[in-house]
Amino acid sequence: MIEPKAELSVDFEIIQSNISYLKSLLREGAFMAIIKANAYGHSLEDFVKNLDDIVDGYGVVRLEEALAIRKNSVKPILLMQGLYNEEGFQIASKNNLSITIHHPSQLNLAKEFNSKLNLWIKFNTGMNRLGFEVDDSKKLIDFNQEENCLMSHLACADNPADEMNRNQFALFEKISESFNKTSKSILNSAGIIHFPEYSFDWVRCGIAMYGGVPNEYLKTAMTFRSKVISIRNLRKGERIGYGGRYIASEDKKIAVIYCGYADGYPQNALDGTKILINSHECSILGRVSMDLITADITELPNIKEGDWATLWSPENSINLVSNYNDLISYELMTKITNRVIKST
Ligand SMILES: *Cc1c(COP(=O)(O)O)cnc(C)c1O
C-alpha cells in the first residue's frame, strides 16, 4: 500500500469566475487582488501566473511577497502594512511597489520618497488597528497628490446592519474632503458584496475570490482531501478517539481518514461537521487527532479503504466547515500545513 497523504489542489478557473462575479458588482474602480499569506494558502506564485490578466493590481503585507509577484507581473503592487526603513523604501522604489503609510514614524521617509513612489495614506475610521486619525489630516496634506491613494479598512462589513459601517463611510468621506486629489479605497470582500456604492478607485478583495464568503455565486476554489485508510464497526455504547468524546447511540460504522490537525484540519471540529466521501455527505464523530479524522459512514455501505474523503472543495464549501465550528474560512485556508501535498 502506498502511503496516502493529504492533498491540496486549487482550481484557478473557479477563482477567475468568482472574480468575474465580484467585478460585476462594482460601480467603478479597479480590482486589487489581495494575495497576502501565500494567496490565503492558494499559492501566490500560481495565482499571479494564472490570473494576472484579469486583476488590476495586488495587495500583500510582506516585502518578499511583493518581490515574488514582481517577477511575474508589471501591475501595481501595494504593501498594505507599509515599510519602515530607508532600505525598504529604496527597494520599493526600484521595484515600483506602492507603500502604505499609517504611522508617524514613516513620515520623514514618506516625504522623501513622495515623488518616487505611490503612497497609500491609511486612516483609522473606527477599526482602531492601523491608521492616522482624522485630526492628523493637516499634517499629511503634502500627500494629497494624484499618484497617491487615501485608504481605510472596514471592521464590520460582513454584518451590513452594524452601524459601524455607516460611521466609517461617513468619516472616510469627511477625510476625503482634504484629500481631493488622491484616489480612494475602502472596500474589502464583504464591503464589495454589501456596499458596492463605495467602490471608489480601488477595491481590495481577498477572501471572496477564494470562495470563503457564503454566497450563491462564489465557490470554494480549494480541494482539501485525503484517503480513508481504515473502516471499523462500533457497537452501541462504544466511544471514539481521544477523550472518548463521541459515544455510539447505536451500532455504527466508522471511516478513519488520513488527515488531522497537523495537516491543518481544525482540531476543534465538532461532531456533525460535514465531509464528503465519494461525493456522499457524512459527519465527523469523535475528536480530530494529529493525523486522523473519524467519520460516520453507517448509512453509506459502499465506502472502501482507499476512497477519497473531501474535507472542503467546490462541492463541500469551506464555509460549511467554518460556520458549523464557529471558525472563519480565512483561518482554515491559511493553516493548511507544509506536509500536505500540493497537486494540480
Ligand atoms: C486582508 C486585507 C484586505 C482583504 O480583506 P478580505 O476580507 O479578505 O477581502 C483588504 N484590505 C486590507 C488592508 C487587508 O489587510
Enter the DSSP assignment of 132. Answer: B
Q: Tell me the per-residue pLDDT of 176-221, one tens digit each, with 9 for 90 and over.
A: 999 999 999 999 999 999 999 999 999 999 999 999 999 999 999 9
pLDDT at 203: 98
Same domain, 22 and 63: yes
Q: Tell me the per-residue pLDDT of 38-66, one tens digit each, with 9 for 90 and over.
A: 999 999 999 999 999 999 999 999 999 99
Domain annotation covers residue 84: yes
Q: What is the CATH number of the domain that holds 206?
A: 3.20.20.10
pLDDT at 2: 60
Residue 330 appears among annotated catalytic residues: no
Count: domains in the chain: 2
Give the atom of ligand 1 at the shortest distance from the alpha carbon of 205.
Answer: 9
Instruction: State the Rg of the chain over Cα.
Output: 23
Select from 185, 210, 235 the last residue of a domain: 210
Give the atom of ligand 1 at the shortest distance from the alpha carbon of 188.
Answer: 9
Range of the domain at 205: 11-210
Same domain, 148 and 28: yes
Residue 36 appears among annotated catalytic residues: yes
Nearest to 195 by CA among 152, 133, 149: 152
- The pLDDT of residue 1 is above 70: no
133 and 123 in contact (C-beta within 8 Å)? yes
Catalytic residue among 49, 174, 236, 242: 242
pLDDT at 299: 96
pTM for the model: 0.96
pLDDT at 27: 86
- The b/e string for 177-212 (b: 16+ C-beta within 10 A; e otherwise) is eebeebbbbbbbbbbbbbbbebbbebbbbbbbbbbb
**283 CA to centre of ligand 1 in angstroms:** 32
Enter the DSSP assignment of 123. Answer: B
**34 CA to centre of ligand 1 in angstroms:** 6
- Please, how many CA atoms are within 13 Å of residue 148, restricted to the half-sphere of its CB? 26
**282 CA to centre of ligand 1 in angstroms:** 33
Which run of H or E residues covers position 252?
Answer: strand 252-257
As a whole number, mean pLDDT of residues 275-298 equals: 97
Same domain, 318 and 254: yes
pLDDT at 3: 77
List all residues 6 or more positions away from 325 whose beta carbon is below 8 Å from its beta carbon: 266, 268, 269, 270, 273
As a whole number, mean pLDDT of residues 11-20 equals: 98
As a whole number, mean pLDDT of residues 156-178 equals: 97
Site to probe by mutation for ligand 1, drawn from 35, 172, 188 as the one with most ligand atoms within 8 Å of Cβ, is 188
pLDDT at 301: 81
- The pLDDT of residue 152 is above 80: yes
Q: Tell me the per-residue pLDDT of 79-137, one tens digit each, with 9 for 90 and over.
A: 999 999 999 999 999 999 999 999 999 999 999 999 999 999 999 999 999 999 999 99
